[in-house]
Structure formats: C-alpha cells, structure tokens
Chain A
Amino acid sequence: MTGPLTPDDVSRRAFLETVAKTGGTSFLFGSLFVNTALLRLPQDEAKASAKARRETEIGKGVIYGFVVDTTKCIGCGSCVRACRAENGVPDGYNRTWVEQYTFYPDGEVVVNSPNGGENGFAEPPAPRNEPTVVDQAPVRGFFVPKLCNHCIDTPCIQVCPVGASYKTDEGVVLVDHERCVGCAYCVQACPFGSRYLDPVKLTADKCTWCYHRVTKGLLPACVASCPAEARIFGNVSDPSSTISHILATNRVQVLKSYLGTRPRTRYIGLDSEVI
C-alpha cells in the first residue's frame, strides 16, 4: 500500500479483520465440535471395525463370493468366450480374461494375454530380453484368470460422481446404464483394470458376476463353461455351500491387498509375480 491511510483503507482493513476473525474462530470451534462429536471410545472403535472387517453376517441373506483356482486353469479361454457371448461384450474389451505367466531360467517372467485369452494359448511367449542361452526353454508357467473383484471397499463406487455405480445386498457391484454419464472416472479408479467404457453404450461397464443368471439360480457363464473347475461361485454366508467349504480348507489370496479394497474374488495358488 502506498501513501497515507485514508478512511476507506481503515474501514477496509477493519472489514477484512472482522472477516478473518469470525472466519477463523468459527473454523476453530467448528472443527473442535466436529471432532468431539465423532469421537468414539476405544472399545466402540474396536467393535465397529471388527464388524466392518467381517464381510458376511451368517443368516442375513445371500452374499456372493468367487474363488479362482489358478492351479487348475488350463488356459482354454472358454470363460472368455462364454462371457462375451452371454453379455454381448464388445470386441477389444474384456469382462474377464486369462493371463499366461511364463518363467525363464534367468528369472525373467513374461506375461501374455492375446485377445484376453479368447482363442486359447498356442505357444509360450518369447522372452523379452536377449536370451543368454540359445533356445532358452521356460522352466515354469501357469494361467491366471481375472475378472472384476467386486470389492467390499470399492474405489470405483467411491469416485462415481452421479451414483451410477452401486452395490447390491449380495455384494455384487453393478453399473446403472441409465445414469452413467460416461466420464470413465471409475475406469481410472479400478486398480485391477476390470472396467472399460463400452463404445456402443458409451457408459462404464464390467463383469457383473452374471447377476441376471445368479438371481435365477444359475451360475455365471464363465463358471458354468469352465471345463477345469478353476472358477467357483456361491453363497459365502451359507456355511454348507461349496465355496464356503473351499474358503475354509484352502489358503486364499487376493490381488493388490495392500490397496485395501478388500476384493471378494479370492485366488488359490496366486504367485508373487501376479500383480
């Protein structure tokens, strides 16, 4: 400010001071109030988080789960074809896909998924690096089918701006194609690459665990078509179901557990190289 203070300057300064003071004090008290209102005792906190961690409440209705047994997958691609036919998935996009992992003696891992595995797998992929030994043959390999994980703490529903992405009571994550604006934020937010923007519908889309089939007592198309029993689907809140038995008798893993999305799709035999 240049020159001597004028009455205007004085009143303006007073005005700004008042604004700052009222703003500052209300913010301070407001935040104190909010924090105390949200304050919970340690015992309550522990109970609440235990409840949140429990994904099922036995007897409270159907809750679906999915297990992928990577030790059984033969990479035939039946699941990919069945899903595409069942759900009209557009070419170039996948609701489910199969990855081929090939390990070479020097430690290199090559991952491959030609067309998502839709036409099966013919050959192991060539190593990326220059082979140090001529005709380097792979030493280990397996297939990993992937699909939407239908997470408990979905990052996709979290970011949808219009409420087009939601979860049913059974834990299935779906998209409302009449509300979706096609911003593709959910596609970016999914850590697993399960989502895509349908080029015909111009909305987000993804695996629905064949909701239209499972609510009629059928299995998802990928589960029904798998000849190797690598995919298992069922009601995890029913202790007598096949899937509950498998979950109770196997060590299961999830993808990217460190991100905290708590996927409902579990894997048996997941290698550390599977990201």
Chain B
Amino acid sequence: MVRHTLAVLVENQPGVLSHVAGLFARRGYNIESLAVGETEDNTISRITLVVDGDEKVIEQVTKQLNKQVEVIKVNDITNEPSVDRHMLLIKVTADQVARQEILQLMDIFRCRIVDIGRRSLIIEATGDEGKIEAIIQSLKPFGIKELVRTGKVALVRGSK
C-alpha cells in the first residue's frame, strides 16, 4: 500500500464535496486526509486527497473521480516535486514552570504561540507530516488538552 496525494480541481458549488466523499464511501476507497478550499479562481475549489491504495486502486479512484460532472481535473502529485503542508493547532497544559521549556521547544520547531491561558498555551504549527508528528510527540509529556489539524495541502513546485 502506498499513499497517494491527489490534487482534484472541482467546481466551487454546494454538494461537490459530498459527491466526492460519497464516491469514496460507496466504492470502498480509504481517504487518509482531505482538505478543501477555494483556489485563485473563486469558481473552482481544490481538494487535496491523500488516499491509501496500490496502483490499481489509485487508477480506479482517478477514473471514477474524472467521471463526476463537477470534477474538472485530477492530478496524482505523489511523485511530483511538491511542497506539502499540514497545519496544527494544539492546546497544551503549561504552568509557569513548563511554559519556558515549551517556548524553547517551539522555537526549535519554529512554531508560534497564538494564545496564552492561565494553565495552557495554544500553539500553531505548519509543516510536512513528519514535522507535525514530531511536534505532537514533543508536547505529549506536558499534557495535550486539545488538538486539531488539517489534512494535507500541496502544490507542485515551479519548473526550474
């Protein structure tokens, strides 16, 4: 099983996401992550899908997506040189003592503190999956109160 990243351009219309998600559900494909948002053209949205499956499964996924009326284009960018990012917001238990240590850690990861409470901090981080995992692991000992993260977004690099 290989993870594939698909960049799917769709019409920016209500119901499109449920078309795409429904397709995955009924054909038995697994979505690892999904991120959707408007593109530079506000009539078009871009869905970045991470799908688990062998070449055959990915080929079927791509063909089935292409059949949807609202799908404009499907690109498998798994093997393309690309920039990909996840975003993480994480609320960590942080008393006066821990706070200093956390700040140092977050400096290493180049994260930002976006909220300070009396006993907690909210940290914002972006990065590839490895970095996000590393941040979560490093903060675990302090006590994670809440965590939210987006699916992967990715763009193919410009030609050199």
Same assembly: no
Write the residues of chain B forming the contact surface with A, with a CB cutoff of 8 angstroms.
Answer: none
